[in-house]
């Protein structure tokens, strides 16, 4: 598959973001005070984070840090508009992605109705520690972060590799996870999850991927999808300060190992999904070349309480192509 030939003018900062993981993402508004949470100021000093009434945007939310029981210091952003009776939504990121890789339009759409928390897992971006090489350990690291924030109840949003992690978090903490959103992901042991196409692998594993690689991997080879992808890449440049650190090549290799192991075909693993009883929204683009949409159909088939939405003329990055529409769908689902 070749991408549409179109001129994509993306800033150097955005290109660097895509190469490892730097972009827009969060907001820290009306966030409750948290033990051990600190914010990095431009001068490198730290101060305790207190409850605030000033809503940030995805482009301005500060980077916060909290230390987990295992010794890892996690970098995250926390913001939005929490309402009475609502719970925070924890975002879990894709392969090689960081806080800066989230689409600000998607995140802000969701944050308009609830509190959102975006995190660099262990060894990723601005977080310390080593990146796990299994999905299961990655989920335990995510739980370590959540425990550090002392969240008694929460929803989880997992994109791609993050969706695999979200499944494990929900299975391991059923008394805490209320609802689950799974975007462009699949069940353990699913179908065609281990990329074997040389063109896909070459772009996925580049030391320094560029905008054209992102458009190829995340958006369908049509004029409309490629145009939406270009608009998404331009939105990533909205954040001008307090950028996250890019992912390292060591993180790339460990996450690829985790992703590959998860994707070893094994239908016997599907029975585990029966234990993920929380209401779950499953969604993908109909032409996803990284995690084929038939895996979303498998999730919808085996999860006890799932609803499925496959977006047309879209690929792995459907949630960025339909940022407002999907963000609105997520809010509607979580508000039920």
Q: Percent of the chain beyond pLDDT 70? A: 84
Q: How much is the pLDDT for 131?
A: 96
Q: Percent of the chain beyond pLDDT 90? A: 77
| Number of helices (H), then strands (E), in the chain | 11, 10
Whether 21 shows a pLDDT value over 80: the answer reads no
Q: Which residue has the tokens 């339009």?
A: 105
Region 193-213: what's the mean pLDDT?
88
Extract the tokens encoding 41.
Answer: 């100021």
| Sign, Cα dihedral of 153, 326, 328, 336 | negative
Q: What does 3-72 look like in DSSP terms, one character per residue? A: ---------HHHHHIIIII--B-----SPPP-TT-EEE-TTS-EEE---------TTTPPPEEEE-TTSP
Whether 6 shows a pLDDT value over 90: the answer reads no
Residue range 67-80, pLDDT digits in tens? 999 999 999 999 99
Residue range 251-284, pLDDT digits in tens? 999 999 999 999 999 999 999 999 999 999 999 9
Polymer length in residues for the chain: 336
Residue 47, φ and ψ in degrees, nearest 5: -145, 155
32-41, 91-100, 255-264: least confidently modelled range? 32-41
Q: How much is the pLDDT for 9?
A: 47
Best CA proximity match to 95, nearest among 244, 235, 254, 222? 254
Contacts of residue 17, Cβ cutoff 8 Å, sequence gap at least 6: 23, 100, 101, 236, 243, 246
Best CA proximity match to 3, nearest among 291, 228, 208, 206? 228
Extract the tokens encoding 235.
Answer: 């939105």
Extract the tokens encoding 250.
Answer: 């060591």
Give the separation between CA 180 and CA 59, rounded to whole angstroms. 25
Region 306-329: what's the mean pLDDT?
98
Extract the tokens encoding 108.
Answer: 């802000």
Whether 183 shows a pLDDT value over 60: the answer reads yes
Give the separation between CA 71 and CA 161, rounded to whole angstroms. 24
Whether 14 shows a pLDDT value over 70: the answer reads no
Region 14-21: what's the mean pLDDT?
43
Query: CA 279 → CA 56, 256, 284, 306, 326, distances in Å?
Result: 29, 29, 17, 6, 17
Q: How much is the pLDDT for 55?
A: 63
Q: How much is the pLDDT for 169?
A: 98
């Amino acid at each position: 598959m070749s991408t549409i030939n179109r001129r994509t003018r993306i800033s150097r900062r955005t290109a660097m973001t895509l190469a490892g993981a730097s972009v827009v993402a969060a907001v820290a508004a009306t966030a409750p005070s948290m033990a051990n949470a600190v914010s990095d100021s431009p001068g490198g000093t730290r101060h305790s984070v207190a409850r605030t009434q000033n809503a940030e945007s995805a482009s301005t939310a500060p980077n916060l840090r909290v230390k987990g029981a295992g010794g890892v210091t996690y970098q995250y952003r926390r913001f939005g508009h929490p309402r009475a009776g609502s719970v925070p939504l924890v975002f879990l990121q894709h392969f090689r992605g960081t806080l800066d890789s989230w689409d600000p339009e998607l995140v802000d759409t969701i944050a308009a109705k609830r509190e959102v928390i975006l995190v660099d897992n262990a060894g990723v971006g601005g977080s310390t520690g080593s990146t796990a090489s299994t999905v299961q350990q990655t989920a335990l690291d995510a739980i370590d972060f959540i425990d550090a924030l002392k969240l008694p109840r929460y929803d989880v949003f997992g994109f791609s590799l993050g969706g695999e992690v979200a499944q494990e978090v929900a299975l391991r903490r059923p008394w805490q996870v209320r609802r689950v959103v799974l975007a462009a992901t699949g069940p353990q042991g699913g179908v065609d999850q281990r990329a074997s196409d040389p063109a896909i692998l070459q772009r996925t594993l580049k030391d320094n991927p560029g905008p054209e690689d992102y458009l190829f991997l995340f958006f369908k080879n049509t004029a409309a999808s490629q145009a939406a992808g270009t608009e998404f890449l331009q939105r990533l440049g909205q954040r001008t300060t307090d950028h996250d650190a890019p992912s390292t090549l060591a993180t790339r290799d460990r996450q690829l190992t985790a992703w590959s192991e998860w994707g070893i075909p094994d239908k016997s693993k599907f029975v585990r999904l029966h234990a993920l009883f929380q209401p779950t929204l499953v969604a993908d683009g109909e032409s996803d070349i990284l995690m084929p949409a038939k895996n979303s159909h498998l999730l919808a088939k085996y999860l006890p309480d799932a609803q499925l939405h496959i977006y047309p003329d879209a690929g792995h990055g459907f949630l960025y192509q339909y940022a407002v529409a999907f963000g609105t769908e997520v809010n509607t689902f979580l508000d039920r």
